[in-house]
Structure 1
Amino acid sequence: MKRSAVLSVVAVIMLALAGSPLFIGCGKQGGSSVQPVTVNIALANNPNSQALAKIAQNEYKAAGVTVNISVLPENDLRQRLTTEASTGGITYDIYYIGPYEAQTWAKNGWLENLDPYFSKLSAERKTWYDREDLIKGMLDSVSLNGTPYGIPFYGESSFIMYNKELFAAKGLTMPQEPTWQQIYELAKAIHDPSKGIVGFTMRGTPGWGMSGAPFVTMVNAFGGKFYDMNWNATVNTPEQRGAWEMYKKILREAGQPDILSYTYNECIGLMASGNCGIYYDATSLANDLEADGAKTKGKIGYVMAPHDKLNKNTAWLWNWTMGINPKATAAKKQAAFDFMLWATSKEYIAKTIASDPSGASTPPASRSSTYKLAAYASVPYTDATLKTLEGIDFTKPCLDPVPYVGLQYIAIPEFADAGDIMTRNLADYVVDNITLDEALRRTQQTFEAVAKEGNYKK
């Protein structure tokens, strides 16, 4: 889950942090609103969202419609939108959320069912939008029982990035579908602290969306799960133990020195320096390694997320999605839907390429056709990204049947807190504050409590 916070214009930052409208756009863009209507949306503070705000300000036109966009720090955005949705607020007409929220909010009635809006589209508009081009795994992640409650704006999966020069210097070869054991052995071979070379980097900062993102995919890769079909917690098991041991072993023996301080920002900085052999993280971060002027441009290889056992569905899935506030007026809902269609259309993607031919402003992982565009076709990570995305099944994180969905988290409301606790236990284990037995025992208790208190366990 990429959480970049790069802003290009200082004035925009000041407006965004103040929660001020970033733009007001009006005109005609296929909307059905005939009475003046204002649609409010707040976006997460990251480059793709910034690009949307800028392009929409200049390009989006809808008769009688004003669209106000604010850009907020991610933590502030989550807090505001969760409060708004849970209390039936009407500050925002479009919710900018991820699949974690989409799954639970849809069940709670906090998101509008989008099927009726898609059904009302004319044949011409359906052809123009080409809903079938949306990457299935991404749309499935924000749908409930096949019903869409959001439209992904951009997304990401996860894969391995490795420094081809460092590998060549050691005479090493990276498998196209590596196991975690292979990644560990390669990282150890690359690791050379005396020369300032780190073998492997991965998020270590506690938090369900930080270290929890790669770690839960490791659990899946080792054949682990968090619950059986009767909602009995399954943390303290041999499969989970294997993932916990590998996480610690690879970071302690071949990772960055200050493990717990590393978010994705520090990891990408280390990899971009050219002094790190292997990095496991989001597909959307690869652009930073291939940017003009980057030391690593053209020097990075990309392969599938590591697996073990027989489970190869071990990459994660995340996106930033637009959904409609069900408390909004009918006119606002229709205007919101029209804007969402435009912002997730091929037309919008073409506009991003026109404004930024490098493809850096183009929403990744939302449409299959994006990866056929010239700006993407020549990018080194395109093939690995598309292969990863097309192989994802959001509903089957584990080898065994489980009562939940989600690849780097469990799509239940309680996971945010439980996942944070898990990663704090993981951090304590990594730095030897507690034993593995104690870490597993504490985490097992946490997930058992969730099953009982959430009334999942009958």
Structure 2
Amino acid sequence: MRLPTAIALACSLLCATAAQAATELVVATVNNGHMIEMQKLSKHFEAANPDIKLKWVTLEEGVLRQRVTTDIATKGGQFDVMTIGMYETPIWGKKGWLAELKPDAAYDIDDLLPAMRQGLSANGKLYAAPFYGESSMLMYRKDLADKAGFTMPERPTWTQVKELAAKIHNPSAGLYGICLRGKPGWGDNMAFITTMVNSFGGQWFDMQWKPQLETKPWKEAVTFYVDLLKNYGPPGSSSNSFNEILALYNEGKCGMWVDATIAASFITDAKQSKVADKVAFAQAPTMVTPKGANWLWAWALAIPAGSQKTDAAQKFISWATSKDYVQLVAKTNGWAAVPTGTRKTTYLSREFRQAAKFAEAEQRAIFSANPTDSTLPKSPYVGVQFAAIPEFQAIGIAVGQQMSAALAGKATVDEALKASQSAAEREMKKAGYFN
């Protein structure tokens, strides 16, 4: 009887080992450059943690948001780690949809930039760890500005941006004065358009939660945006998002671009950008006010509540958002390629500041964004390029489609704003904000 018992015991040990080795983490993430690099470097994590295997689901930004929102709201359990942002994290954290993150002392949570840590917390608890953080800023071709005899101010107005766009626009040579997001989405074209509206003195909702989409600032901002891209933008702007414009910029086809500060590390990389040595930076343009002119965002990693793999997920998130990970990227790809906007120590690094000529402009933009005071008239919501309420996602998607239609010439600005106002009012009434 002893032999079968020994065999059974050996088998149970082997089975237990196999089960332990089979801890698979399904990580949902966005198809941005830094996330693609994280996937490549994750072999280091798996080597150090042989009991954890990573399975990646990499999606375009709009699809990712839809998939993770559906999964977490329905408790689908498809993902063990989700890439989410500053909009979802506090809302989902308050709803109890996310597991609280409790990194160990070595993680040095106090090294996280305060704006990022606060934006990813609810009721004093951290619910997502920032993988990279960003604001928005103006990236421009200094060689073209110099040739046109134009000196870019540190914080230009939209009028000045239009003036330079007109001077450098040369479509016959494949060069467009300015490239801006046009692809519909609450976090896509509406992230940019909202900051523009803010700078024109507008807001999403007044203090009674009434949508403000047909007010003068919205009409002026959206009209300016549509005219700017129709006159000085590339063809097909209504379908351009971050990655499409990044490709255009790196090919030398965009004279200016207002978008995420994170783009700076790609357009200054000579391995992927033909204009790496010709790029300069300024703060996001203003018009009536600098309030809310540049956004604040973090792509962050979170764990759905009720996950059966919380310990392994926490271990992976701690690795991917750590100081050591920043050092690993620096060692592998150089300091200019590290994910930025998350840790104080990154900006204190002499090597980083020497390698990244965008560091100062990026840091200034991030530090100047204020989610609690981002509009000229007083607003009831928190958020710069979004309103941090559950209803905003549906409203932002609907309005984004209308703005894209106006840009494509399928609707007038007035028609698009009227339809947007109706959609926003319908959602807010349905949610009980007003009758």
Same fold (TM over 0.5): yes
Q: State the 1:185 CA deviation.
A: 1.6
Q: Do 2:174 and 2:253's aligned partners in 1 also have CA atoms closer than 8 Å?
A: yes
1:102 equivalent among 76, 79, 89: 89
Show structure 2 runs of 5+ residues with no match. Answer: 1-19
Query: Counterparts in 2 of 1:8-47, with a 5 A limit?
Result: 38=23, 40-44=25-29, 45-47=31-33
Shift of 1:36: 7.5
Q: CA RMSD in A?
A: 2.5
Q: Deviations over 1:145-203 (max 9, x none)?
A: 43321111112221101101111111111110111122112212222334443211111
Answer yes or no: is 1:69 the counterpart of 2:55. Answer: yes
Report the AA paired with residue 199 of structure 1. G
Aligned counterpart in structure 1 of residue 80 of structure 2, from 66, 70, 93: 93
**Contact 1:41-1:96 at 8 Å conserved across structures:** no
The match for 2:319 is 342
How far did residue 60 of structure 1 move?
5.3
What do the CA deviations read for 1:396-450 (whole angstroms, capped 9, x no partner)? 3212322222222222333233222212222333344333332222111111112
8 Å Cα contact 1:95-1:323 kept in structure 2: yes
Structure 2 distance, partners of 1:95, 1:272, is: 29
Q: Which amino acid aligns with 2:311?
A: Q
Counterpart check, 1:241 vs 2:214 = no
Structure 1 residues 250 and 79: alpha-carbon distance in aligned structure 2, compared to 1, 3 A threshold:
closer
Distance 2:225 2:291 in 1: 18
**Cα displacement (A) at 1:452:** 0.8
- Structure-1 residue corresponding to 2:379: 402
Instruction: Give the aligned residue type for 2:315.
Output: D
Task: Work out whether 1:371 is the aligned partner of 2:361.
Answer: no
How far did 1:238 drift?
1.1
Give 1:212's match in structure 2, choosing from 174, 190, 209: 190
Distance 1:207 1:59 in 2: 34
**Given the alignment of the two structures, is residue 55 of structure 1 paired with residue 35 of structure 2, yes or no?**
no
Q: Is the 8 A contact 2:200 2:220 kept in 1?
A: yes
The structure with the larger Rg is 2
SS of the equivalent of 1:157 reads strand
1:258 and 2:236 correspond: yes
Is the deviation greater in 442-451 or in 404-413?
404-413
User: What is the count of residue pairs matched by the alignment?
Assistant: 413
Shift of 1:64: 8.2
SS in 2 for 1:303: strand
Change (3 A) 1:271 1:89: closer
Aligned to 2:307: 328
- Secondary structure at the counterpart of residue 88 of structure 2: helix
**Correspondence for 1:229 among 200, 207, 215:** 207
Mean Cα deviation higher: 52-61 or 298-307: 52-61
| Cα separation, partners in 2 of 1:345 and 1:239, compared to 1, 3 Å | same
2:279 is the counterpart of 1:300: yes
**Distance change in 2, residues 1:435/1:229 (3 Å):** same
1:81 positional shift: 2.5
- Secondary structure (helix, strand or coil) at the match of 1:198 reads coil
Pairing of 1:264-279 with structure 2 (within 5 A): 264-279=242-257
Deviation per CA, 1:122-163: give whole Å up to 9, x if none.
xxx2xx322222122222222224332111111222110110
Structure 1 position 62, deviation (Å): 6.6
Structure-1 separation of matches of 2:216 and 2:50: 61
Contact 1:37 1:64 in 2 (8 A): no
Q: Note if contact 2:23-2:52 (Cα within 8 Å) is conserved in structure 1.
A: yes
Conserved 8 A contact 2:183-2:240: yes
Q: Distance in 2 between matches of 1:295 and 1:160?
A: 18
TM-score (norm 2): 0.87
| Residues 1:309 and 2:288 are matched in the alignment | yes
Where structure 1 has 5 or more consecutive residues not aligned to the other structure, the ranges are: 1-34
**TM-score, length-normalised on structure 1?**
0.83
